[in-house]
Amino acid sequence: MDLYGGHINKLIEELSGLPGIGTKSAQRLAFHLINMPKEKVERLAATMVEARTNVRHCKECFTLTEQDLCPVCANEGRDHKTIMVVENTRDLAAYEKTGKYTGVYHVLHGAISPMLGIGPNDIRLKELMQRLQEDINEVIIATNSSLEGETTAMYISKLIKPIGVKVTRIASGVPVGGDLEYIDEVTLLRALEGRTEL
Ligand code: ZN
């Protein structure tokens, strides 16, 4: 017996396809949406479509932005010869919040994970290597201290070293497996200052 009807089932199915949303949460969200005023649901749907339409990748560092260049890359006051490599835009935001990092970034959009079938070609590594054809002083690898983050850091350092660009890794004062975005600013700065050459 189909208790919910096609539309609710479809909504639950779509919602449960989102990261971190299991069937139970999807059901809860679906019923919440259905009980919301129709205008509110329309506004939410429109906001989602607008964000998807207007947000793109910075053509320099590949973070999410609404311009060709993100505010960091567009800022001539930043040190464009120091590139910090992070896994995602949230990590970039975490470092920006410290207000102390003056270089630029490169956003990989993921990390190498043989277990999940994510290889070097599935993240923005090629684009990083292209940027290194310019005159770069240092690449700071700030991927997470998870297995995937460490694997990615090792892989990148092996790629970059032969080019002769200085490669450093942030200190591992960062909890293992911890997402960078959840770590407080003091810890982030300590990790950055304590970075070591690979
Ligand atoms: Zn950028």
For residue 111, give both structure tokens.
Answer: 């990390």
Q: Which of 3-7, 21-25, 146-150 has the lowest mean pLDDT?
A: 3-7
Which percentage of the chain shows pLDDT scores above 70? 93
Q: Could you report the per-residue pLDDT of 31-80, keeping only the tens digit for each?
A: 999 999 999 999 999 999 999 999 999 999 999 999 999 999 999 999 99
Residue-level pLDDT at 198: 85
1 within some domain: no
Q: Could you report the per-residue pLDDT of 153-171, keeping only the tens digit for each?
A: 999 999 998 999 999 999 8
Q: Are residues 18 and 63 in the same domain?
A: no
Q: Are residues 106 and 36 in the same domain?
A: no
CA of 75 to the centre of ligand 1 (A): 9
77 within some domain: yes
Residue-level pLDDT at 176: 47
Residue-level pLDDT at 75: 96
CA of 197 to the centre of ligand 1 (A): 24
3-state SS of the chain?
Answer: CCCCCHHHHHHHHHHCCCCCCCHHHHHHHHHHHHHCCHHHHHHHHHHHHHHHHHCEECCCCCCEECCCCCHHHHCCCCEEEEEEEECCHHHHHHHHHHCCCCEEEEECCCCCECCCCECHHHCCHHHHHHHCCCCCCEEEECCCCCHHHHHHHHHHHHHHHHHCCEEEECCCCCCCCCCHHHCCHHHHHHHHHCCEEC
For residue 165, give both structure tokens.
Answer: 């660009």
What CATH number is given to the structural domain containing 104? 3.40.1360.10
What CATH number is given to the structural domain containing 50? 1.10.8.420
CA of 21 to the centre of ligand 1 (A): 30
Query: Which pTM value belongs to this model?
Result: 0.79
Q: Residue 179: pLDDT band by 50, 70, 90 thresholds?
A: low
CA of 185 to the centre of ligand 1 (A): 21
Q: Are residues 103 and 21 in the same domain?
A: no
* Span 6-21, average pLDDT: 92
CA of 4 to the centre of ligand 1 (A): 45
CA of 112 to the centre of ligand 1 (A): 22
Q: Residue 1: pLDDT band by 50, 70, 90 thresholds?
A: low
Q: Are residues 71 and 104 in the same domain?
A: yes
CA of 31 to the centre of ligand 1 (A): 39
Mean pLDDT (the chain, rounded): 90
Q: Are residues 11 and 78 in the same domain?
A: no
Q: Are residues 113 and 146 in the same domain?
A: yes
37 phi, psi to nearest 5 deg = -60, 145
Q: Please state, in angstroms and rounded to a whole number, the distance separating the CA atoms of residues 175 and 145.
A: 7
With beta carbons less than 8 A apart as the criterion, state whether 159 and 142 touch: no
Q: Are residues 30 and 89 in the same domain?
A: no
Q: Please state, in angstroms and rounded to a whole number, the distance separating the CA atoms of residues 173 and 190.
A: 8
Q: Are residues 137 and 85 in the same domain?
A: yes
Q: Are residues 74 and 49 in the same domain?
A: no
162 within some domain: yes
CA of 80 to the centre of ligand 1 (A): 10
Residue-level pLDDT at 175: 55
CA of 59 to the centre of ligand 1 (A): 7
CA of 84 to the centre of ligand 1 (A): 11
CA of 123 to the centre of ligand 1 (A): 16
Q: How many domains does the chain have?
A: 2
Measured in Å, how far apart are the chain's first and last C-alpha atoms? 61
CA of 125 to the centre of ligand 1 (A): 15
pLDDT at residue 99 above 60?
yes
* Span 112-116, average pLDDT: 90
Q: Are residues 74 and 172 in the same domain?
A: yes
Q: Could you report the per-residue pLDDT of 78-94, keeping only the tens digit for each?
A: 999 999 999 999 999 98
Domain span including residue 33: 6-54
Residues with CB under 5 Å of ion ligand 1 are: 58, 60-61, 70, 73
